[in-house]
Amino acid sequence: MKRRDLLQTIFWGLSIPSSLLSAVYCAELPDEIAVADKLFKKSKFAEAREIYKKFRNLSATKNQADNWKYCTLQIVRCSRRLCDLSLAVEEYFQYCRIDSAASLETIPIIWSTSSSLIQGTKPNSQSSLNLLRQITSSNYNPAAELLAASVLAAEREPSLRNTGLHHLQKLANPHDSESNNTEKNSNPQPEQTEPIKILANNVMLLAGVLLWKERIPILRNEKELTSLRRHLERIPEPLRAGAFFWYGKATAQLGLLDEAVIEIMKIPIQYPEDTVLVLDALEEAAKILDKLNRKNQAEQLRNEKKELLNEIAKPEKIWFASFYF
């Protein structure tokens, strides 16, 4: 609460949408999960994650699917808060194997080749590559493909990056892919359920945002910016964090610096769960404030970034988790 209040003081008028305040819901939570949830609410993410892991393992042996799914998503959320994108990505892949309509509100998309990634927590590009190679019509999950493509598109190695961009293009233009598949395969495809249709549409929109970074360096006029804004507004509010980041950068590219700061600062204020993106947003906003000669605000944001990095770097105090099992 302290960080959010500080940032709202600096950038008045930005508030957290009510849709983002609700936690992942699971009916009749066992006591062990309730303990972890309390730790999560207190921002003790390392400790909470250990309890979720242990109870998730117990849920698997007792065939408690709802508890298993809840704990897995909470492990993803804790890992994102701790900048542990390696574990967040692997856990989300696990979840997608169980739930074909996986929640995109917890997906740990890699939005940029970030300088904020903590050493040793970078996602494994090989597991993402393997997942994309194994995609078939029978086990297809658009959320898993989006995440794997985002991991590869953030790589510096050209072949990996190109593979990621290829899959993002396919996801962003599904009708083109469907036409090609129809020509190759005359067998009728099974009709999608409504949750899958909604998921696929949101995946399409997010894949489009991940491709913006290829367009932004050559952005030339506000007409193109308006097109990006329309795209952003089609994305459900809880999923807009990455779009605000790249839209802010596009706005800055055209010299609209005041507007760019406001767009980028929506991330740490409204979307604190993605710590890596928050760190990137604080640094990006500080650079723009420097250009506006608002040095004091820029310094406040850099101090905020240092404080957040220090919190992540603290030793994990997880010894007591074993007392609950």
Torsion of CA 154, 157, 162, 164, to 10 degrees: -40
pLDDT in tens, 190-208: 566 788 889 999 999 999 9
DSSP state of 173: -
Q: What's the number of domains the chain is made of?
A: 2
Tens-place pLDDT, residues 207-261 = 999 999 888 888 888 899 999 999 999 999 999 999 999 999 999 999 999 999 9
Q: Examine residue 284 and state whether it is found in any structural domain, yes or no.
A: yes
Residues 130 and 166 in one domain: yes
285 in a structural domain: yes
What three-state secondary structure class fits 258?
A: helix
| Residue 141 and residue 237 in one domain | no
pLDDT band at 13 (very low <50, low <70, confident <90, very high): low
**Is the residue at 68 inside a domain?**
no
The least confident of 97-101, 113-117, 182-186, 263-267 is: 182-186
Q: Is residue 298 part of a domain?
A: yes
Residue 290's Cβ-side half-sphere holds a number of Cα atoms within 13 Å equal to 9
User: Is pLDDT of 182 > 70?
Assistant: no
Residue 7: pLDDT band with limits 50, 70, 90:
low
b (16+ CB within 10 A) / e for 211-245? bbbeebeebeeeebbeebeeebeebeebbbbbbbb
Q: Quick one: 155 and 245 in the same domain?
A: no
Contacts of 37 (CB under 8 A, 6+ apart): 23, 29, 48, 74
Rounded to the nearest 10 degrees, the angle between the axes of helix 65-81 and helix 275-291 is: 30
- Higher-pLDDT residue of 118, 87: 87
Residues 265, 300 within the same domain: yes
**Which range of residues forms the domain containing residue 167?**
105-178+194-210
Judgement on whether residues 111 and 206 belong to the same structural domain of the protein: yes
Does residue 134 sit in the same domain as residue 153?
yes
Average pLDDT of span 97-111: 89
CATH number at residue 275: 1.25.40.10
| pLDDT attached to residue 40 | 95
Quick one: CA dihedral 131, 246, 196, 180, positive or negative? negative
Q: Is 133 exposed, middle or buried (0-12, 13-18, 19+ CB in 10 A)?
A: exposed
CA distances from 170 to 96, 106, 179, 208 (A): 19, 22, 11, 10
110 and 206 assigned to the same domain = yes
Same domain, 265 and 309: yes
Note whether 202 and 219 are same-domain residues. no
Let me know if residue 112 belongs to a domain: yes
For the entire predicted model, the pTM comes to 0.83
The pLDDT mean for the chain works out to 82
Predicted local distance difference test score (pLDDT) of residue 183: 46
CB-CB contact of 210 with 111 (8 Å): yes
Q: Which two tokens stand for residue 169?
A: 């293009």
20 within domain boundaries: no
Same domain, 206 and 219: no
Report if residue 146 sits inside a domain: yes
311 or 264, greater pLDDT: 264
Looking at residue 32, what is its pLDDT? 80
Residue 302 lies in a domain: yes
Among the candidates 159, 186, 210, a domain finishes at 210
CA distance linking residue 262 with residue 102, whole number of Å = 31
pLDDT at 138: 58
In the predicted structure, residue 31 carries a pLDDT above the cut 90: no
Residues 128-169: tens digit of each pLDDT = 888 888 776 556 789 999 999 999 998 888 999 999 999 999
Pair (236, 147) in one structural domain:
no
